[in-house]
Structure 1
């Protein structure tokens, strides 16, 4: 550091020490470093919290957690899809490479899958829109710096971390018992086993009836999660700048994390400040996808591009953008738009926040650009999870009983009470709680990308 810069800093610190303000400076530094730790660590903490929920549900690493029916509010992950059958293999390669085997797509089923490292950096996509192109395949996940002979016939994924997970969505044609059972049976053809023991059976753990909570805790629990990650995983070269930052708030490899009461107070304050910043930025980070609407794609383009290439760009490392995305959702996608596409909104047509005590209508125009299905799902704005204790969270084109307008469009209604005559098209919300909306398209087609098809904003209904 240049003397001209260093001297004023030293003089300032000496002056504040003489006034008895040294502790205040230390406190502010600790809080500031806690804020940065929250922002930097978000995707890894998000993964760890899902793993902890899986362990609590009775699963172990290198086993597959699944939901034997479409998820309801008991699944408190971030913005899950209640119109798919979920399978989540949590892998750990510390004892050696692991194989995730995906069945071929066909009349009996298909998947949309994504395989991520701990930091939710996409290693590869799986299924028809992934590396196997629907033919099925054996994805070989290698530990960091692993060297060994690899036989032919594997899709090789070199992970910079030991642990990670895959999000596998078994395609659901409808919510009928028959189609649900078929999607579950197809998904259970997945295999997860050690490369060294190809004959070992895959264990599946059904989480359909448990509270599976991985919402982000903006307090000292966040740092407990971050400490687990530091203890278990190697430092990545791109992140070594954080070693001293974390050490200054009590997180250091090889040492226990045991903050005293004063430190806990500072960590809690730092987490709250980080939360406020993330929430403020989240609704301002993305441009409208369709002109003159409030629909956005909830991922910064530089993040999508850099993450899909392993964060190898020379002059960017979009940590802030990454924190915003993984504070409200999970999974990294290598080919965004190939298998699925997401649109998010926090506002109605007038730019007002979506209020669970009000009534709204979303008109989905005819000929929605997708090969599989579209869905519209409401989430709690506070937690980004499904709103608790409500009977359902979404309406989807999979629902055969939904009413359609004469032109083929569909009106979906949101509000605390069922609208008279439109019960089948209703998504319940809760009075006193803001909500956000995620519109998904699986198997998106060209009219979505060239925007010859556009989704209008929600309209507040002011009269019955």
Structure 2
């Protein structure tokens, strides 16, 4: 009987071992040699003498390319976003010259910009340095802005936070491969871009409504060595348009197009190597086959989900005010890298949710620059919903030398929220509005949701359907209580 029991136990042990081998070992336990069946996300991979068959090879390549596409989406977000912006804005506004500027003033116009501010006019230009360096004669006055390369990194600021400090100056901008030293002379600020394409963005901060016309007449721009001329400022179009990066194959088409316009930086060579098997290669047309299209479609969708997760749950940074869900939205180096690494996740978070970067945005000093605070959760840590009503209590004496603004955005498009409103305040409430209802102590309660509470209609922004939302609370020229955190915004309180 004892011998029978031992034999039975041995047989059972062998059967269990055989069954485990037949079912395959988990990937993390694989020996990766000899004869082995390995469980993987792409099905079992059977090794025989350490080799696998053609079917397994195909599945591994498909998974490899899908994973690369997912990560390439995160890496390429700032580049594709600004390219979509340039292309769509140019079409919507009839841009014909590289010195044309587009002026966005109305709600409909500003609703095209990814997390655009709704309180001051925007003035935008895109120009290529491939045809030679450009010279800018910049007027004096209260303005804020900057010149960015196409990775959305600041090359230099303009206006109050720039070298001219609002006094006006002459700038020369040269492209990659050009020698900046050739253009240096007294009274000229010379900078170099690492990309051919550059962006010039401005905001007028002067209170005088007539200042724009003065600025437009005084601003001059053109190729170095040729006569400078006034730019055309295209305004009052009031058109609907979108700068949100496309989804699906069109995303990759834009990436392929812009890579063919730009030199490849050393820091990006590993990424371009990973894109080549996907049909995206410098100097070649974008003509992916069906297998590549599948990987790209899956990668674009998963890449956006991963990027949105970073946007909602940024795991590399803590909340700004302990005990709340408020983050400082731009919380990384404008160079997008440190001594040891590229800040790929950090920049993807910002450039999925927003556009552009300047030193004034990243490094505001007390009494100058801007701060962008954002949240996606309420006081109980729940994600904000379009079908619920919320209150934000804004304490009195918000620490700003200029003004503050609360702007409502769509999570789907990351552009100003479209709730059917036709005026700016339907998606933006700020301290310039004299009819906001205040509390007795000078604080203000602002409301977001499907329905305004009675008596607080002026303090309300409407949400609709299932269009999820988030906000930016902007502090223009923040003062010391923001920096030492003696001022603190509470979380949104859900009312139902």
Return the TM-score normalized by structure 2.
0.83
User: How far apart are 1:448 and its partner, in Å?
Assistant: 0.5
1:397 equivalent in structure 2: 431
Counterpart for residue 297 of structure 1 = 328
| Separation in 2, partners of 1:207, 1:92 | 25
Q: Deviations over 1:404-423 (max 9, x none)?
A: 22222122111223332112
Aligned-partner Cα distance in 2 for 1:271–1:437: 25
1:176 is aligned to none
Q: CA, structure 1 residues 402+269, in 2 after alignment: closer, same or farther (shift >3 Å)?
A: same
Q: d(CA) in 2 for partners of 1:278 and 1:68?
A: 28
Residue 201 of structure 1 deviates from its aligned partner by 2.9
Spell out the pairing of 1:24-173 with structure 2 (5 A cutoff).
24-57=59-92, 58-60=94-96, 62-72=98-108, 75-105=111-141, 110-147=142-179, 148-171=182-205, 173=207
Match of 1:376 among 389, 398, 406: 406
SS at match of 1:278: helix
Match in the other structure for 2:273: 244
Residue 321 (structure 2) pairs with residue 287 (structure 1): no
Please, which of 335, 341, 345 is the counterpart of residue 316 of structure 1? 341
- 1:365-389 alpha-carbon deviations (Å, 9 max, x no partner): 1111111111001111122112225
Q: Aligned pair 1:270/2:299, yes or no?
A: yes
- 1:429-461 deviation digits (Å, cap 9, x = unpaired): 113221101100111111111111111111122
SS at match of 1:139: strand
What are the Cα deviations for residues 318-345 of structure 1, in whole angstroms up to 9, with x where unaligned?
1122112111101122242241101000
1: CA distance between counterparts of 2:112 and 2:35? 48
In the aligned structure 2, how far is the partner of 1:73 from the partner of 1:9?
64
CA deviation vs aligned residue, 1:226-281 (integer Å, no higher than 9, x gap): 11111100111111112221111111111111112332222110011111111122
Checking the alignment, whether the CA contact within 8 Å between 1:369 and 1:445 is kept in structure 2 is yes
What number of residue pairs does the alignment pair up? Answer: 442
Using the TM superposition, give the Cα deviation of residue 364 of structure 1 relative to its aligned residue in structure 2, in angstroms.
1.4
Say which SS state the counterpart of residue 221 (structure 2) adopts: strand
Q: Which of 385, 410, 414 is equivalent to 1:355? A: 385
* Mapping 1:253-268, distance limit 5 Å: 253-268=282-297
The CA deviation string for residues 80-139 of structure 1, in whole angstroms up to 9 with x for no partner, is 11111000121211111113333212xxxx212122101011111221122211112223
In 2, Cα distance between the equivalents of 1:275 and 1:396?
A: 31
Of residues 412, 419, 423, the one that matches 2:446 is: 412
* 1:293/1:231 CA distance change after superposition, 3 Å: same
SS in 2 for 1:20: helix
Which 10-residue stretch deviates more, 268-277 or 147-156? 147-156
Q: Work out the CA distance in 2 between the residues paired with 1:322 and 1:195.
A: 33
Which residue is 1:453 aligned to? Answer: 487
Q: SS of the counterpart of 1:252?
A: coil
Deviation sequence 1:299-324 (CA, Å, 0-9, x none): 34xx32643xxx4x431211122112
CA distance in 1, matches of 2:414, 2:477: 24
Unpaired runs of 5+ residues, structure 2, are: 1-29, 37-44
For residues 112 and 280 of structure 1, do their structure 2 counterparts lie closer, same or farther at Cα, with a shift above 3 Å needed? same
1:195-233 CA distances to partner (integer Å, 9 max, x unpaired)?
232433312223742222121223111111111111100
Q: Is the Cα contact below 8 Å between 1:218 and 1:271 reproduced in 2?
A: yes
CA 1:49–1:13 in structure 2 vs 1: closer, same or farther (change >3 Å)? farther
- RCO higher in 1 or 2 (8 Å CA, sep ≥ 6)? 1
Larger Rg: 2
Over the aligned positions, Cα root-mean-square deviation in angstroms equals: 2.5
Deviation at 1:284, TM superposition (A): 2.0
Give me the whole-angstrom Cα distance separating, in 2, the residues matched to 1:234 and 1:6: 43
Contact residue 346 and residue 353 of structure 1 kept, 8 A: yes
Relative to the length of structure 1, the TM-score reads 0.89
Cα distance in 1 between the residues matched to 2:347 and 2:70: 14
Alignment CA distance shift 1:447-1:183 (3 Å): farther
Provide the residue aligned with 2:56 in structure 1: 21
